[in-house]
Structure 1
């Protein structure tokens, strides 16, 4: 069997066999990255970016690379490192259980082992080098250690502190760490006295050892003594296969593993060793004090729980009173599907009014995020640093009380990564407020229709947003404990988190459906025209297909980068749907695509999505697919798509973009 991969290097001749990727998926010229062996006393595999280290395997120990813990259990029999008589160092890889497998160096510089999965009939990634940020070479600088399980991921090695505290606090760790206490650089012997004040060693377990290790044939005990007796030695590690590894230069590219790795012993001043002993004493004292305090804390906690239950009971009474009050104000209209008797509001955390006032700077205008029919929304920062969005019921709003009750009932029952999360409520001093997680990137329309920000929404991001909205809708319609029709799906109600992932928001107009209900009617239509299905606008009739219609309008906006009512003078008779339909019939639908995402490699995928969008906005609800079918269409699970029928509102007969009730 031929090896799946062979890379080699000869230090004497300079000849190298390396992996090199394309510059990009569409550009076959040689890219910035390369992968190969670095011949030295302790051979290592490297990925380089423009000649500088980008990833490192750790030293070879005759069986595996000790900087890749997975090799102990997964690749134990897969690698062979041989040095030929001419000095060529060759690394070969075999995997007897994966006959169709090979290594790939991606255009982003990640080394991946992929294999053919017969069950899935596709290539699958078995292993990758850059699993986390910590695997990037020198992420935390000199004498820094990286652990992806921590936040922040970088910390200093024991006995060291940040070189630049300000930059370190900002998440810039390039300057690394410096020693907290200077070394004595003296010898350590067993006679006590002055020797007891000399340097010692601090142990850090399960580490990826630093780069630039020297090598010694010493046994483990001798390795320790050699390091302590050598003034230049600042750390050492020992591995059975590798041998003794001392370091005399800065410790760079150190990583903390959860399992595997090697114990690293770092030279430290005697005062640092004393601190270690002090920490153990403090821990012991803390345990004793903690045991004594538990009984006191238990008593306090019991009293607090009793008080908290009483407050929640009172708050629930206030909310139920508001429901009765809302019925008086709106006798002709049912409350949230009028299922409040069957659907009890979950116990929501109660927020203190004074704390919310402080968090929003007394609801200052500078913290105002937006204004809706419900009332204003403010940005706030709680005392623990958490940022929130506070939706405050307007006391002058005739419809706000009903919306408050509706949104609380609906969203308190929902938990999904593509729905905005409700953190709690406030029901004090005639105030009614809902507290949500804060979305720093605001709403989708703020990006999509901004000439500067829309550049950040490339095709892949837009498709991810589409998929996220679809998953959120599917959860509302099919997968949640309640069947929810959102009724107000639009770009401004799609919020974006730090990673531009979408979250559906604003459930004040949502409707809970009973188990056998397919559609319902309302005499009170409150929606944003342009997103509203024809049966809802004309007859007040809504169903899952109403949300599908709105989703279709969103799709066409996302692909075109145009609002559903933004047309020039020559297009005044057309809506976005009419414009898209005109281009479709003229076999010129490519003209609809936003130039920002118009690339030949994505053309077929974008055209398919536009086709799906037109299917969603067909005039009759029965012709539109449900959300689960829409998602299958978008993922190409349904190969042959039906031909769309004429969309609703192909001519501009309404004042698009305005709210009405």
Structure 2
């Protein structure tokens, strides 16, 4: 991992010009930068490879803790479904992190902030993203010292050009329990709507507290709705409280599916996805599946789509592809959309 000077990163980002800003968050600002592909030294704008440079708000104690956590965790962990930390800078009060650039941005932007030019994510792509993110979490949970991610949400899942999912932002990650302990006790942090009930209630953080957060994101991917939305009626503001009861049966599960996915899935795949989501959202952490089992479950659901595709190709004329499913699902969607208002 490369150690940069502050002037290096000023040069890579064209002096942190406003038109190089990729995003702004509570931690600080992320800029687009350019570095040489081999040496990772700053390069001229438009040459070499693009990187994302996170510049933390200076003088923040929490900012320093989160910067240190990022360097400690991403500096020693490498996996295809974790975003790659390429370097860092600590100079006076300036704290910066340099990551691989993720072309497609966050899952959150694709699910909830679409502009007219962005196609809604297909069923197959949503499954691909869910599988990738699940593999990333499973890797953390089974590393030498189990790592609890603690802030799993759609905005922290980044997508490369081929929609491969990578978990980013390890500022709140914690080393898991050791010496026979079942949990670590910590100050409650994270994002409301995604945090597990036992963590909110007691500050006890289990490896399977992350599984709950994964379940919330799965529910967002199935429904196309945010985990928390204050614009919805009071009883519908919290997505899990509102729609968890609808995950228990095929017809109810079909009724809450994102209308933009109409006709892209089999009812069998939806039922399996709903059941898996329900298991992840178990109130009691012990009853939730391990992330490696979640990965297997999602891979089985993805395989159902491929089986359906080949069966459709061999048994139906091309102009009638999926007609009966479309008729059935459009009526279910009608019910589901009505329920959302």
TM-score, reference length from structure 2:
0.78
The one of the two structures with greater contact order (alpha-carbon pairs below 8 A, sep at least 6) is 2
Q: Which residue of 1 aligns with 2:18?
A: 365
Residue 255 of structure 2 aligns to a residue whose secondary structure is: helix
Larger radius of gyration, structure 1 or 2?
1
Q: Which moved more, 1:366-375 or 1:463-472?
A: 366-375
| Equivalent position to 1:488, from 151, 154, 164 | 151
Aligned residue runs from structure 1 range 296-315, under 5 A:
none
8 A contact 2:67–2:171 mirrored in 1:
yes
Quick check: 1:381 aligned with 2:44?
no
Q: Which moved more, 1:450-459 or 1:385-394?
A: 450-459
Tell me how far 1:585 sits from its aligned partner: 5.7
Aligned residue runs from structure 1 range 435-474, under 5 A:
435-451=98-114, 452=116, 455-474=119-138
RMSD between superposed Cα atoms in Å:
2.1
| Equivalent position to 1:611, from 245, 264, 275 | 275
Q: Distance in 1 between matches of 2:117 and 2:242?
A: 25
Tell me how far 1:571 sits from its aligned partner: 5.5
Tell me how far 1:605 sits from its aligned partner: 1.1
| Equivalent position to 2:183, from 506, 519, 522 | 519
Q: Which runs of 5+ in 2 are unaligned?
A: 36-42, 302-341
Quick check: 1:405 aligned with 2:68?
yes
Q: Which residue of 1 aligns with 2:215?
A: 552
Quick check: 1:593 aligned with 2:246?
no
Residue 412 of structure 1 aligns to a residue whose secondary structure is: helix
Q: Which residue of 2 aligns with 1:627?
A: 291
Change (3 A) 1:632 1:403: same
Aligned residue runs from structure 1 range 242-261, under 5 A:
none
Q: Distance in 2 between matches of 1:557 and 1:569?
A: 15
Tell me how far 1:403 sits from its aligned partner: 1.0
**Larger proportion of helix:** 2
Tell me how far 1:570 sits from its aligned partner: 4.6
Tell me how far 1:595 sits from its aligned partner: 1.5
Q: Distance in 2 between matches of 1:508 and 1:556?
A: 24
Q: Distance in 1 between matches of 2:168 and 2:138?
A: 15
Aligned residue runs from structure 1 range 221-370, under 5 A:
348-370=1-23
Q: Which residue of 1 aligns with 2:203?
A: 540
Tell me how far 1:477 sits from its aligned partner: 0.4
Tell me how far 1:412 sits from its aligned partner: 0.6
Change (3 A) 1:565 1:601: closer
Change (3 A) 1:567 1:376: closer
Q: Distance in 2 between matches of 1:399 and 1:542?
A: 19
Query: Per-residue CA shift, 1:464-489, capped at 9, x if unaligned?
Result: 001001110110001x3432110001
Q: Which runs of 5+ in 1 are unaligned?
A: 1-347, 638-661
8 A contact 1:423–1:436 mirrored in 2:
yes
Tell me how far 1:515 sits from its aligned partner: 4.5
Tell me how far 1:566 sits from its aligned partner: 3.3
8 A contact 1:521–1:540 mirrored in 2:
yes
Tell me how far 1:388 sits from its aligned partner: 0.8
Q: Distance in 2 between matches of 1:588 and 1:404?
A: 44
Query: Per-residue CA shift, 1:529-561, capped at 9, x if unaligned?
Result: 000011111211111111000000000001111
Q: Which residue of 1 aligns with 2:313?
A: none
Q: How many residues align?
A: 288
Change (3 A) 1:453 1:514: farther
Q: Which residue of 2 aligns with 1:430?
A: 93
Change (3 A) 1:406 1:461: same
Tell me how far 1:392 sits from its aligned partner: 1.7
Q: Which residue of 2 aligns with 1:579?
A: 242
Tell me how far 1:583 sits from its aligned partner: 2.6
Query: Per-residue CA shift, 1:604-661, capped at 9, x if unaligned?
Result: 1122112111111111112211112222222349xxxxxxxxxxxxxxxxxxxxxxxx
Residue 355 of structure 1 aligns to a residue whose secondary structure is: helix
Quick check: 1:475 aligned with 2:144?
no
Q: Which residue of 2 aligns with 1:417?
A: 80
Q: Distance in 2 between matches of 1:464 and 1:476?
A: 19
8 A contact 2:111–2:120 mirrored in 1:
no
Change (3 A) 1:596 1:573: closer
Aligned residue runs from structure 1 range 137-286, under 5 A:
none
Residue 104 of structure 2 aligns to a residue whose secondary structure is: coil
Residue 22 of structure 2 aligns to a residue whose secondary structure is: strand
Q: Distance in 2 between matches of 1:585 and 1:410?
A: 37
Q: Which moved more, 1:365-374 or 1:611-620?
A: 365-374
Residue 119 of structure 2 aligns to a residue whose secondary structure is: helix
8 A contact 2:66–2:172 mirrored in 1:
yes
Q: Distance in 1 between matches of 2:232 and 2:94?
A: 47
Q: Distance in 1 between matches of 2:241 and 2:66?
A: 33
